[in-house]
Amino acid sequence: MTTSDPTTSGTAHANALNRLDRLPVSRFHKVTLLAVAFAYFFEFADINSFATTAPKLIKLWGITVDQIAYVTSLSFVGMFIGAIVAGSISDRWGRKRALLWTTMFFGVFSFAAAFSWDLVSLGVFRVLTSAGLSAMTVVGVVYINEMYPSAIRGKFQAYAIVIGICGTPVTNLIASAVVPLNDWSWRLVYVWGSLGILLVLFTRHLKESPRWLESRGDHAQADAVLREIEASVAAEHGALPEPAPPVPETPSAKAPLRLLLQKKYLYPTLLLTVLWMTQTIGFFGYSSWAPTLLAKEGFSVEKSVFYVALTTVGAPLGCYLASLVTDRFERKWCLVAFGTVIAGCGLLYGLTFNPVLIIVFGFLVNLFERGYTALAYAYSPELFDTRSRSLGTSVSYGLGRLSNAAGPLIVAALYNGHGYQSVFYFIAGTWLVGAIVLAVFGTRTRSTRLAEAERKRVGVPA
């Protein structure tokens, strides 16, 4: 086995990026993928718990569409706070610990939500749960970006979502079965969402990000982690090729928020904020409201939840579709194409009350929405360097989630003032705006990835 000794050539640089980039896919990568996908599964399982139980609570507690909107809006405030805090703790205490802590956090408060006694208590628990969900997502995105070779990180980001996104249809099908049973069975949906706590079972299989350790100047620890990874990969695949030579870097301190005001970082931060704003309003405008609005339009609670559950079967297929295109084509244009298709299918969903067409167009919306999300998870961290990656990703993602604090209020106002179909005109318009902004201002990343891969192939420093 050939490894890179950080003490050679008079440098203490661990060369984490190049050493990770030349590793073949191994059991280490697959176990890491499984762990992150497990966290994603219960994130997606839990994120729409309130949406699936709201129709039942309208009958049990007499709550209104406006009250549902307020709870949903506050949840996005929680998501914003969670995303910002995630960037800080991920930079301060490491990617691995942050992933475990944020998953534990949302699991605990999802479980607490099962014991809610009124809308206020449920709202408080949902805000705290949402903070944990958002925080875990930011950490998971950055963790995969830093642990996988650059040539395949987009594909593995999508693979993690393919597995994780199954939490949505599974949860919706569980909800469609248990929510109608009796007056307390809706609480089981929140118990189910809390099972993300079991991520602790993966603790010993996860490694801290060597690139994070290296960015802090802890080259010895980064090298120790890299040697463990290389030993396990070499035992599976044999001797490893030499990595490209390291490029010495000055250790960076914790990135301050004002860093993003620098021209180098401000542009990608603004671009990604628009991306996540339109994705959040468009995605949650559909997924958070579909069961409630169908129930308000005369469909029974059982049918509305069941129809939405069937549409979410398209979600894993969308992530798989993203995995096929993400490293093959320019991610910017894939996002533009997916966003445009979502706008069209979402509008058609809102223009029909035929159950078959609701399921068909809802299926397509879910398919392309989740594919879009997988692409965005891979695209976002690539616009930043290691020092700014966690901060830039968390701020843009957090601002996107915060923007949807107004989204549910807009949806409620449109529905009450202009009817069911106006909601879907609004959602389709939001997706279209995002696609146009990306088409005009989006940064291309594929050429950079290919250039990096070529430099590593011929052994030229990046």
Q: Assign residue 282 the CATH number of its domain.
A: 1.20.1250.20
In a domain, 163, yes or no: yes
Quote the CA–CA distance of 413 and 63 in Å, as a whole number. Answer: 16
Quote the CA–CA distance of 155 and 61 in Å, as a whole number. Answer: 45
In a domain, 75, yes or no: yes
In a domain, 267, yes or no: yes
Provide the domain limits for residue 137: 11-244+253-458
In a domain, 422, yes or no: yes
For tokens 């879009």, the residue is 372
As for how many domains the chain has, the answer is 1
Quote the CA–CA distance of 338 and 318 in Å, as a whole number. Answer: 10
In a domain, 3, yes or no: no
Q: Which two tokens stand for residue 159?
A: 């693979």
Block means of pLDDT (10 residues each) for the chain, length 462 residues? 43 76 89 91 85 84 82 84 84 89 93 93 93 89 86 81 82 84 90 90 88 86 91 88 69 60 79 88 73 66 69 78 83 92 86 79 87 85 74 78 76 80 86 92 67 46 42
In a domain, 6, yes or no: no
Nearest by Cα to 13 from 209, 214, 211, 228: 214
pLDDT (0 to 100) of residue 22: 86
In a domain, 68, yes or no: yes
pLDDT (0 to 100) of residue 287: 67
Mention every residue, 6+ apart, whose C-beta is less than 8 A from residue 333.
Answer: 439
Quote the CA–CA distance of 55 and 132 in Å, as a whole number. Answer: 24
In a domain, 2, yes or no: no
pLDDT (0 to 100) of residue 120: 92
